[in-house]
Chains A and B, each alone.
Chain A
Amino acid sequence: MPPLPDEPLHGAIFEESTVLTLRDLSRMCAVDERHIVEFVEEGVLSVMEITKTEWHFSGAALRRARMALRLEHDLELNLAGVALALELMDELQHLRRELSGRGV
């Protein structure tokens, strides 16, 4: 008898299923909340939703914050440098996808 096929693993789309507060985000990145606020002020991170008492971030913000921290640390960049690098990387990724979509 052939083995039964494995029941597939179910997962959610992390970017859409996750909502993080400022506190969550700073804890998961192991940095001070102030640092995250600076990222927001510089435009590195965007707040998904602002309630009366909280900032809410999407799961995408966690990945972006971690990448920003790695760039800051490993390349010894300042905040403006991180913001510029991330913007250029976004654009590069967009263009790369467009090229691969055209089969180039």
Chain B
Amino acid sequence: MEFKDYYKVMGVPRDATEAQIKQAYRKLARKYHPDVSKEKNAEARFKEVGEAYEVLKTPDKRAAYDQLGKSGTAGGDFRPPPDWDAGFEFSGTGARDAQYSDFFESLFGGRARAPADGPRGAFHPERGEDHHAKVLLDLDATLHGGARQLTLRVPEIDAEGRLVSKERVLNVQVPKGILPGQHIRLAGQGARLPGESIPPGDLYIEVEFQPHALYRMDGRDLYLDLPVAPWEAALGATVKTPTPTGTVDLKIPAGSHANSKFRLKGRGIPAKPPGDFYVILQIALPPANDPQAKAAYAALAAALPFNPRSNFGV
């Protein structure tokens, strides 16, 4: 077992005051909190920091840990001496949901974990723990609903009691109209406890969506950038426009300009209530790469005195 240098984890000197330790913890906790952090190894780091803080903030645990450090075990393989904790008493009020390292457990003992859903300190879990996973879906999955093969990494406790991550492939019917950040709840697909009499927990799958080639998502609304020719915007036109429910003929009024916005009510994500579909005009310029096109642009310039920078005053 590896010796854990809790001072190094917290980035504080061995003679750090309680206030310094608290300050270091708060800073690291904010940085690595899994709800807040986008760091890749945030969860693992957060647990490590939480464990270090649990020891260093509690005077009796810290004293016992310091005693241990003096016997010169740092860095090498670690085995606690048989009577190392004689004279220290530990209270069992740990952080909720905490999972401690083998090193910690060998020093301070394991602690019965309450299931995440149950009241803390319940002795007999009524059901297995709920599991959580996150998947990236294509937009079509929510537009039309449908079965998808999802590959999940599910944490499991292995035979030796360690937390490992296991791959699991599920065929899941994606509910039509699910929005980013929402969860599919699969009853009974969570953790299974030994013994048939205890019902398994549930699996919660959080969905996010891959960027779509045409549509941009904002909550339940969809946006399409629709390129139009300058004369279509200026003179008005009826333009074939793709929407999730099929192509529509969109009427562009004369005098439209770049970023003009049109709303097609209820044609967004088919949630309850359904989102809207927005079309944003983009003026596309025809290339002037042959004499004919150049002549046409020159004729337009001659016919229309137009200074697009008139409001700059230069």
Contact = CB atoms under 8 A, between A and B. Distances in A.
B117 A28 contact: yes
B120 A30 contact: yes
A59 B211 CA distance: 26
Grouping DSSP codes into helix (H, G, I), strand (E, B) and loop, the A interface class, with mixed when no group exceeds half, is helix
A93 B189 contact: no
Given A75-B30, A76-B26, A85-B36, A97 B180 contact: yes
B172 A8 contact: yes
B217 interface: yes
A102 B216 contact: yes
Contact of B173 (A8, A18, A67, A74): A8
A44 to B, nearest CB: 13
Interface residues of B, number: 40
B119 interface: yes
Which of A14, A28, A89 has the largest count of B CB atoms less than 10 A from its CB? A14
Contact of A74 (B29, B114, B119, B183): B29
A100 B211 contact: yes
Interface in B166-212: 170-173, 175, 177-178, 180-187, 189, 204-205, 211
B173 A9 contact: yes
Contacts of B211: 100-103
Contacts of B33: 70-71, 74-75
A96 to B, nearest CB: 9
B96 interface: yes
Nearest to B217: A101
B147 interface: yes
A75 B33 CA distance: 8
Which of B33, B189, B272 has the largest count of A CB atoms less than 10 A from its CB? B33
Interface string A1-23: 00001111111111111100000
Interface residues of A, number: 36
Interface string A67-95: 10011011110000000010001000100
Given A9-B186, A11-B187, A101-B211, A73 B218 contact: no
Nearest to B186: A11
Contact of B119 (A15, A30, A75): A30
A11 B185 contact: yes
Given A30-B120, A71-B35, A101-B216, A14 B204 contact: yes
Contact of B184 (A11, A73, A76, A103): A11
- Which 9 interchain pairs have the tightest Cβ spacing? A8-B147, A101-B216, A8-B173, A14-B185, A14-B183, A11-B184, A11-B186, A6-B171, A8-B171
Interface of B: 26, 29-30, 33, 35-36, 46, 50, 95-96, 114, 117-120, 147, 170-173, 175, 177-178, 180-187, 189, 204-205, 211, 216-218, 223, 272
Given A13-B178, A98-B216, 16 more contacts: A8-B173, A9-B171, A9-B173, A9-B189, A11-B173, A12-B175, A14-B183, A28-B117, A59-B183, A70-B35, A71-B35, A75-B30, A89-B36, A97-B217, A101-B217, A101-B218
